[in-house]
Amino acid sequence: MVKIKKLTSLVLMASLVISLAACGSDSSNKDTSQSEDPNTTSEIADDNVDPAFGAYKDTVTIHTVTSESASASYPEGDNVTKNEWIRDYKEKFNINVVTDWVSDEYDTKLNLAISSNQLPDVFHVNAAQLQQLIDADMIYDLTDVFDQYASDRLKGYMQADEDSYKSGMRDGRLYGIPQMHWGLIDQPDYIWIRNDWKEELELSDPKTIDDVKNIALKFMEKHGGYGIAVDQSLEYLNLLAIAWNAHPGVWMKGSDGKIVYGSVQPEMKTALAAYADWYKQGIIDPDFAVKDFAKMNANVVAGKVGMQPFYQWWGYNPGVDTVTNQGKDAVFYPYLIPTADGTPATQSIFFANGSYTVVSKKSKNPEAVLKLLNYYAYIVDEGYGKESKEKLSALLDKDMAHVVGAFRVLNPNSDYEQFEHVTEALKSNDTSGLTTSGMWQKYNNSVDFMKNATPSSTGDYLQQGSPKPAYGLAKQVLDNNQYIKTALWGATPEALINYGSTLNDLLKEGFTKIIMGKESVDYFDKLVKAWQAAGGDEATQAVNEAYGG
Amino acid sequence: MLHKLRQQKAYHLMLIPSVLLVFIFSYIPFYGLVIAFQKYNPGLGFHSPWVGWDNFQHVFNQPNFVRTIWNTLYMSFFKIIGGIIVPVTFAILLNEVAHSAVKRTFQTLVYIPNFLSWVIMAGILLDILGSDGIINSFLSVFGIKPVSFLGSPSIFPWTMIVSDIWKGFGFGTVVYLAALTSIDPGLYEAALIDGAKRWKQTLHITLPLLMPTIVLMSVLSLGNVLNAGFDQIYNLYSPIVYQSGDIIDTYVYRLGIQQAQYSVGAAVGLFKSVVSCIMIVLSYVLANKVAGYRIF
């Protein structure tokens, strides 16, 4: 009995101590972080000859967190926390990168880490988290560090897309380094048409939106089923809206100079009227309202439908599966979405930068991350020719280029330049212009597809190497300025975030009813009023305050 | 009282670890409810700015929120009712099966769907219930036009109710079967001597003796009256059935959780907990008053 009593009290004591310790660490950490943040950089500066690429004398350890990259395949024994990149960081910069955790639910897990004040030194965040962290004064003001340590190439990235760069700032100070994107060239949208069907019926390229409809009708006559594959999200169907000069989802300048929401403009009503008519004729999948992305693609892959409004990456998904199942000739080719009178439609361009690299205020070496970002940019853009083939392959191939989490920054011009060089090389058979490993990958895969019809090469081929490459059309759109950019270029105003997706869901539900003929087209006007009352007006005002004028 | 406590000292001591666990993991987190009244910023934690009832107002001012309450109540009401009637009936019928191997096989078979996640079930249901799925192909044999089980606002809630009961009734069946085995066989023998046939026996012996278990199960399930099954509906609904299929949880998911709006989520969670708590107390009191059944 006495023993039991002792044991219980011991257990009780232990649990009490643990819980007290857990509560205590929170506040004590906060105090130290506030007292020690100024001038931590000065001592390191003179350690290095070259601030951008020089190695540390003494090993610097930085902690980070990351998510699993599903598509990457590692050599035996390696993983996302232990790989060629991590070894290079140690070898070239004497920086020891320690990964505290890896999670598929990265954002949720990071939010937990933020709220328990257990931030790693360097990590990547989304736009909302960036704002919260600045509010809570938890991340480092990187303005000076960036000026001093960023390579010219990295600074060039920021100049190439100054809007994204500024979205990482508050009051002129840089807190988050935007991780950037592949460039605006990947944004224009297309109507993809199955090529063997089109040639079999000797149809010409669509010049007007009525041609698109007629091709669909001809396909249905010959192959049965429905004409155009779309899904319940309306995301893909709405890519076609630009044919009627509607820009759903885009915050655009209205006639009076104020910013308005594209989905509730009168042009959208015209587009919906056309969709409803197409639905009635059976052109649009009669089951689209209950199909998600995978179900939409299932019939494309099965060869039951020959048209799909889609992005430039059709060739990767569902393209790869389509070629695997239906053969090389079944590839779809992209066509620019035409308007009713035959001019190419004005495309919608959205803000592309989704994540930022930030440094915890508690970090002792806020400049270390810049060396690693410099290194990433160097390897991707300049590595070819300067580094050995084996080295580059180990760092970049098999999606290894995507495993570096916070230490990644993309060249916002990369896809545009890459495409120019790849087309040139394919045309002339002269590969001297291929200067990055990315260019070589696209070139090799395009050649591979033409020679061997390898399904896994379909994506690169249709994007850049085919006779009708998606990027060829996109380049045309960019070069001729045939696009409008959304006004929401950067962080989303809070008033809009507070509504989540409910405002768009309201429209989605109403639009679906109109398309399916459950409501008349005039229901659109009622819907717009409901949207305004539900918070649309408030959101519009907030966007105008943040981005208007 | 004190004497009794001293007598049972050992038992109370043994109880302490579990009480402690419940206290640490169920009661201390209550403190987190404060974020329902704050504009929560993970970086500031519980020291985020206070906003009073703003989060509640924001949610309840959404034009489509009220209909989600109605949809939730509608679906969970029928799910609870069906979730009692079906397994009780099935358990009684199964209990009549004399062959024990057959009985066990059926018991296992109906229990299996219970273990599959809704993500998997949804994939299967989408195929079965599609316009060219098994059920509609079967119906077309009789000249019935394809029914849009998942795309028609009037049918969708019933698809949810029926599929949920089908998936879950195996568990209830096992519970009721267990209760049935504890009924004294002597009672049936006595009834048989008095001339009661199977039906009369069921009515006057089986059901009354099952009642405490039924009441217990219903009281427990009433606490879930505002959970109409997020997993199931989230995986099966689409914009076209929002009007009848959107429930509180799916709506709040789209309103707040996707964008990490913790305060809104906490506000709705608190609202649901309060309502559920009232429902449990109410049903318990009613069960005690009307039928005279108590759990404690």
pLDDT at A50: 83
In a domain, A433, yes or no: no
Cβ contact, residue pair B238, A513, below 8 Å? no
pLDDT at B62: 84
* Chain B residues whose beta carbon lies within 8 Å of the beta carbon of residue A135: 41, 43-44
In a domain, A467, yes or no: no
* Chain B residues whose beta carbon lies within 8 Å of the beta carbon of residue A292: 238
Give B154→chain A minimum CA distance, Å. Answer: 13
Regarding whether A167 and A200 lie in a shared domain, the answer is: no
Cβ contact, residue pair A232, B238, below 8 Å? yes
Cβ contact, residue pair B240, A501, below 8 Å? no
Regarding whether A213 and A158 lie in a shared domain, the answer is: no
Give A332→chain B minimum CA distance, Å. Answer: 26
Regarding whether A213 and A334 lie in a shared domain, the answer is: yes
Give B51→chain A minimum CA distance, Å. Answer: 14
Regarding whether A367 and A322 lie in a shared domain, the answer is: no
In a domain, A153, yes or no: yes
CA–CA separation, A453 and A323 (whole Å): 8
Give the SS3 label for residue A291. Answer: coil
* Chain A residues whose beta carbon lies within 8 Å of the beta carbon of residue B260: 107-108, 111, 128-129
Give B145→chain A minimum CA distance, Å. Answer: 14
Count up the domains in chain A and report the number.
2
* Chain B residues whose beta carbon lies within 8 Å of the beta carbon of residue A500: 254-256, 258-259, 261
Q: Which of A115, A287, A512 sits opposite B130 (nearest CB)?
A: A287
pLDDT at A132: 86
Phi, psi of A259 (to 5 degrees): -80, 130
pLDDT of residue A451 exceeding 60? yes
A195, A326 Cβ separation under 8 angstroms? no
ipTM: 0.81
With CA atoms as reference, the chain A residue closest to B62 would be A534
A201, A373 Cβ separation under 8 angstroms? no
Per the structure block, which two tokens stand in for B136?
A: 């509609």
Cβ contact, residue pair B254, A133, below 8 Å? no
pLDDT at B127: 85
Domain with A298 in it: what CATH number? 3.40.190.10
Output A32 or A322, whichever has higher pLDDT.
A322
pLDDT of residue A11 exceeding 90? no
Give B87→chain A minimum CA distance, Å. Answer: 31
Regarding whether A193 and A328 lie in a shared domain, the answer is: yes
Beta bridge partner(s), residue A259? A253
In a domain, A205, yes or no: yes
Is CATH 1.10.3720.10 what the domain over B35-291 is classified as, yes or no?
A: yes
> Mean pLDDT throughout A120-135?
90
Report the share of chain A in percent with pLDDT over 70: 91
Q: Establish, for the pair of chains A and B, how many residue pairs have beta carbons separated by less than 8 Å.
A: 106
pLDDT tens digit at each of 296 positions of chain B: 778 888 888 898 999 999 999 999 989 988 889 999 998 888 888 888 999 999 999 888 888 888 999 999 999 999 999 999 999 999 999 988 878 899 889 989 999 999 999 999 998 998 898 877 899 889 988 888 888 899 899 999 999 999 999 999 999 999 999 999 889 989 999 999 998 888 899 999 999 999 888 888 888 888 788 888 899 999 999 989 999 999 999 988 888 766 667 888 889 889 998 988 888 888 888 888 876 777 66
Confidence label for A85 from pLDDT (cuts 50, 70 and 90): very high
Residues of B with CB under 8 A from a CB of A: 10, 13, 16-17, 20, 24, 41-45, 58, 62-64, 126, 130-131, 148, 150-151, 238-240, 242-243, 251, 254-256, 258-262, 264
In a domain, A114, yes or no: yes
Regarding whether A139 and A171 lie in a shared domain, the answer is: yes
pLDDT of residue A17 exceeding 50? no
pLDDT of residue A28 exceeding 50? no
Residue A235 belongs to what domain range? 188-348+478-547
pLDDT of residue A422 exceeding 90? yes
* Chain A residues whose beta carbon lies within 8 Å of the beta carbon of residue B124: none
pLDDT at B156: 95
> Mean pLDDT throughout A33-48?
43
Regarding whether A202 and A174 lie in a shared domain, the answer is: no
Last-in-domain residue among A390, A407, A424 = A407
Cα dihedral B85, B87, B93, B99, rounded to 10, equals: 180
* Chain B residues whose beta carbon lies within 8 Å of the beta carbon of residue A108: 260
Q: CB-based contacts of B261: which residues, under 8 Å, 6+ apart?
A: A497, A498, A500, B255
DSSP letter at A518? Answer: S
In a domain, A431, yes or no: no
pLDDT at A270: 96
CA–CA separation, A326 and A202 (whole Å): 20
* Chain A residues whose beta carbon lies within 8 Å of the beta carbon of residue B261: 497-498, 500
pLDDT of residue A27 exceeding 70? no
A416, A285 Cβ separation under 8 angstroms? no
pLDDT at A29: 40
pLDDT at B130: 81
* CA B18, B20, B25, B29 torsion-angle sign: positive
| Global model pTM greater than 0.90 | no
Regarding whether A72 and A13 lie in a shared domain, the answer is: yes
**CA geometry: angle at A360 spanning A354 and A362, to 5°?**
180
Last-in-domain residue among A407, A424, A439 = A407
**CA geometry: angle at A155 spanning A150 and A161, to 5°?**
145
DSSP letter at B257? Answer: G
Q: Which of A1, A497, A534 sits opposite B259 (nearest CB)?
A: A497
Within its chain, how far is the Cα of B12 from the centroid?
A: 33
Cβ contact, residue pair A135, B44, below 8 Å? yes
Regarding whether A8 and A120 lie in a shared domain, the answer is: yes
With CA atoms as reference, the chain B residue closest to A507 would be B239
In a domain, A213, yes or no: yes
Give per-residue pLDDT as tens, A365-402: 999 999 999 999 999 988 888 888 888 888 988 888 88
Regarding whether A207 and A169 lie in a shared domain, the answer is: no
* Domain range list for chain B: 35-291
pLDDT at B257: 64
B150, B238 Cβ separation under 8 angstroms? yes
Measured between its terminal Cα atoms, the distance across chain B in Å is 19
Output A18 or A103, whichever has higher pLDDT.
A103
In a domain, A432, yes or no: no
Residue of A498, A513, A516 to mutate, interface with B, max B Cβ within 10 Å: A498
Give A371→chain B minimum CA distance, Å. Answer: 27
Per the structure block, which two tokens stand in for A153?
A: 């190439």
Tell me which of A61-75, A212-226, A413-427, A474-488 is least confident. A61-75
> Mean pLDDT throughout A412-430?
92
Last-in-domain residue among A385, A407, A429 = A407
